[in-house]
Structure 1
Amino acid sequence: MSAPDALHAHQLRAASGQFTTALRFSIRDQTRNRLAALLLVAFVPLWYLLMAAMAGHRPLDFRLFATGQVMHIDGGHLTLISAGLNSLTMICGFAVFDAVRKSLAFDRRLVHAGYRQPVLIGAKSLAVAAVAFAVAVYTALALLPFWRPSVTGWLAVLAAFTVIALTYGALGLLLGVLVRGDLEGFFLIIMGSLMDTFLQNPLGNPLANKPVLHWFPSFGPMQFATAGAFAHTALWGYLALGLAWAAGFAATGLIIFRRRTHRRTATPRRPVTAKPGTDPSPA
């Protein structure tokens, strides 16, 4: 093996080792939040139970914007979908925001110690995606004791849950590197998730069938889950719309993360030149 090939192989092994270590730290940071774990295990079933009891089984009209079709569906089942979306926005947003805020100084030290920023960015992105998918699977499984949609309907709900978990995980990443305090981040996540998911349900919002909801992150996942669960239609464009929100939040957050962990090199000090007729030595 030639010297350039050996050097390239060594660099690949070093980058692989850095990626594995960074990924392990990122997943550990995001999964050791006890409040988020408690919300996931206990809050999700209780939230489903409360929403199902409040909504009952009153029929509702829900509009599919892709086809213009107005469906007459069970309001309780629709409320369970919006409840799952709402719980995911808060849990994933909180978990990622808290982890990023606490690990930012450590990530900066890793960069100064020689870790490559692309490696850290890739590991952090994969950790957010893995945690979001795991939380979405649990939330979709917790739905089954309250409502048993068809297999394709449940898979549509799972896909929508995964996308909204990715979206608010990416938002948590963005807020974690952007805002200066915990209070601001928690407030933005709570208010954003409540407004976003609540407005999608016609049971509590008479504007839920209006075009203005196109501008909310949960619009695409809600349309996809509802179409798959009730109309057995796959609205892939609306799922892609949700992924676009996730990609936008993640890209913005990772750009800011790169800037905040950038390794700054010391600039050489300019030599002091003495003026003619003066003594340059210190007094």
Structure 2
Amino acid sequence: MTSLLTATRFALIEHARNRFAMFLAILFVPVWITMARLFIATDPVRFKLDATGQLLSVNGNNIFQITGALNTVTLIVGFMMFAATFKSGDFDRRLALAGYPRSHLLLAKVTALVLASALVAAYATAVISVYWQPRTPWLLAAGLFGAAMTYGSLGVALGTLLRREVEGMFAIVMISIIDVTLQNPVATPASGSHTIRFLPSYGAMQTSTAAGFSTTHPLSPLTVQLGWFASTALISLIAFHQRTRTAPMRTETITTTDSWRTRITRTMGEHMPR
């Protein structure tokens, strides 16, 4: 338990020291939602909400704010988890080689992910509530939380698998933009297509939209989002396990050809991934 608490404390400290992420969390959320409020038309937008089967006609400005909130929380939490995992990768491996429980290192990352996702989702919901009142604010926060958890675990996977920081940042940005834009009924008239059901934040978008404009509280989209989180978390688990695996000591025989035909046997004591 002590090792878990220590790993969690250092994981949270690592996030707190990421000033750029803190800057994004504090300013990017209200700035993006406010820009949507100021520049997007309030014309009615008609679309079918798959989660309830209802044909809705909603304020285009409000629905754009919801998609903007989804975009911000996925980017922020994805960035935070990717940066923390990428920077601590070598250190985590050394800790695992020294005998530190890998399960505790992973649980520390999950704890940090849950706290970051909850705070950012609650913050985005509060900012939206300043401009208009969603029908079910807690359900909106739950939808945003699900999207943040999914992209946060994706950030852990990318931080473990990739070797260059710019690659992970670019991947998170592009996945989030494509994912959210295709589901925005204002920007994409074909957002009601069945193919959008395969997008990572589909469940979160359906839940958040229902929370904003519907009197029903569908929970099935949250189950879909949970499935996406479980999938990305499994990838993160496998990647982290592979990254921190160690190889046993092995003996290698090398034969050199020289005037004396000396046979040299040496022991390789370096820990290498299998």
Q: Give the TM-score normalised by structure 1.
A: 0.86
Which among 181, 184, 192 is matched to residue 164 of structure 2? Answer: 181
Whole-angstrom CA distance in 2 between matches of 1:69 and 1:113 = 57
Q: Which residue of 1 aligns with 2:123?
A: 138
Whole-angstrom CA distance in 2 between matches of 1:103 and 1:176 = 9
Which among 224, 229, 240 is matched to residue 246 of structure 1? Answer: 229
Aligned AA (1:244) = G
Report the CA distance between 1:264 and its aligned residue. Answer: 2.8
Misfit runs of 4+, over 3 Å: 268-272, 278-282
Q: Which residue of 1 aligns with 2:271?
A: none
What is the identity percentage for the equivalent residue pairs of Structure 1 and Structure 2? 35
Whole-angstrom CA distance in 1 between matches of 2:78 and 2:98 = 29
Q: Is 2:70 the counterpart of 1:85? A: yes
Q: Which residue of 2 aligns with 1:97?
A: 82
Aligned pairs, how many? 260
More helix by share: 1
Which among 45, 50, 54 is matched to residue 30 of structure 2? Answer: 45
Report the CA distance between 1:217 and its aligned residue. Answer: 1.1
Q: Is the 8 A contact 2:52 2:216 kept in 1?
A: no
- Kindly name which structure, 1 or 2, has the bigger radius of gyration based on alpha carbons: 1
Whole-angstrom CA distance in 2 between matches of 1:281 and 1:266 = 18
Q: Which runs of 5+ in 2 are unaligned?
A: 256-260, 266-274
SS at match of 1:200: coil
Whole-angstrom CA distance in 2 between matches of 1:102 and 1:179 = 11
Q: Residues 14-51 of structure 1, C-alpha deviation per residue, up to 9 Å, x if partnerless?
A: xx111111111112222321111111111111111111
Q: Which residue of 2 aligns with 1:4?
A: none
Which among 201, 218, 230 is matched to residue 218 of structure 1? Answer: 201
Deviates more, 1:91-100 or 1:112-121: 112-121
Q: Is 2:213 the counterpart of 1:230? A: yes
Aligned AA (1:41) = I
SS at match of 1:143: helix
What RMSD over aligned residues (CA atoms) do the two structures have, in Å? Answer: 2.0
Whole-angstrom CA distance in 2 between matches of 1:39 and 1:17 = 32
Q: Give the TM-score normalised by structure 2.
A: 0.89
Whole-angstrom CA distance in 1 between matches of 2:262 and 2:250 = 27
Whole-angstrom CA distance in 1 between matches of 2:262 and 2:204 = 74
Whole-angstrom CA distance in 1 between matches of 2:52 and 2:120 = 31
Aligned AA (1:177) = T
Give the 3 Å change call, closer, same or farther, for CA 281–98 of structure 1 in structure 2: closer
Give the 3 Å change call, closer, same or farther, for CA 31–251 of structure 1 in structure 2: farther
Q: Which residue of 1 aligns with 2:270?
A: none
More strand by share: 2
Whole-angstrom CA distance in 1 between matches of 2:12 and 2:28 = 22
Which among 266, 273, 282 is matched to residue 249 of structure 2? Answer: 266
Q: Residues 172-208 of structure 1, C-alpha deviation per residue, up to 9 Å, x if partnerless?
A: 0110011111111111111111111111111111111
